């Protein structure tokens, strides 16, 4: 579309909220699911060593000498005695193929992060919290519930949060539901992803 001097271009329509939310979710997913580093480092180190050895031998051969890093006569003799149908050749090829597939799978499959993703509507803003901080937030929410005397355990899973609290009430009926509601509300306000189901166990310490 062409415009004349002084004519304003029409503003681009803003994407729907659902589309923005999906874009932000994908952005956070990419950041908080980093690629695996150790397989890449291992493969690159092995390739570097092989490259250095080969380059050294080639340069030495061009100079009319031998670097002595590779025993050419022994390798040539072994290759001349070994066929493609030999068990050693098949086993070595199988091991190399399995290692290659394992490295490929490790590179394609994202790694795991210790951060817990938090909701964000901005694709350029990704937010996360350490599991320890999230456990403290859950414990604080559970501890604020009336009649809870102590929070003994907070266990985080990808889709579940388990909380163990203590109370001095003789009959703690309904306390687990109030604690679960408080914890679920705190998680909802924080915007943790994915959504987690809250389960609460109440222990009675003494009667009042």
Q: What is the pLDDT of residues 77-134, one digit of tens each?
A: 877 887 888 888 889 889 989 988 887 777 777 666 677 878 777 767 777 888 889 9
The verdict on residue 116 lying in a domain is no
Percent of the chain topping pLDDT 90: 28
User: Where are the strands (E) in 47-98, listed by range?
Assistant: none
What is the CATH classification number for the domain harbouring 176? 3.30.70.1350
Q: Which two tokens stand for residue 26?
A: 């994908």
Q: What is the pLDDT of residues 84-100, one digit of tens each?
A: 888 888 898 899 899 88
Q: Same domain, yes or no, for 102 and 143? A: no
The verdict on residue 184 lying in a domain is yes
What whole-number distance in Å separates Cα of residue 20 and Cα of residue 14?
A: 9
Q: Same domain, yes or no, for 93 and 146? A: no
Tell me the pTM.
Answer: 0.54
Please tell me the total count of domains within the chain: 2
Q: Same domain, yes or no, for 152 and 104? A: no
Q: Is the dihedral of CA 55, 58, 62, 66 positive or negative?
A: positive
What whole-number distance in Å separates Cα of residue 167 and Cα of residue 174?
A: 12
The parent domain of residue 61 ranges over 38-108
Q: Which of 161, 150, 124 is nearest to 27 (CA)?
A: 124
């Amino acid at each position: 579309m062409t415009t004349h001097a002084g004519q304003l271009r029409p503003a681009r329509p803003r994407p729907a909220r659902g589309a923005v939310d999906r874009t932000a979710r994908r952005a956070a997913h990419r950041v908080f699911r980093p690629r695996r580093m150790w397989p890449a480092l291992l493969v690159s180190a092995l390739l570097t060593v092989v490259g250095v050895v080969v380059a050294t031998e080639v340069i030495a051969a061009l100079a009319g000498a031998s670097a002595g890093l590779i025993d050419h006569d022994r390798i040539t003799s072994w290759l001349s005695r070994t066929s493609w149908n030999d068990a050693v050749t098949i086993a070595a090829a199988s091991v190399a193929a399995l290692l290659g597939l394992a490295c490929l799978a490790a590179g394609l499959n994202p790694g795991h992060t210790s951060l817990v993703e938090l909701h964000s509507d901005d694709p350029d803003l990704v937010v996360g919290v350490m599991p320890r901080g999230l456990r403290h937030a859950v414990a604080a929410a559970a501890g604020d519930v009336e009649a809870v005397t102590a929070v003994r355990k907070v266990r985080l899973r990808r889709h579940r949060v388990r909380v163990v609290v203590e109370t001095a009430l003789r009959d703690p009926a309904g306390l687990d539901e109030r604690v679960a509601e408080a914890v679920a509300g705190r998680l909802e306000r924080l915007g943790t992803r994915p959504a987690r189901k809250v389960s609460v166990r109440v222990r009675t310490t003494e009667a009042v």
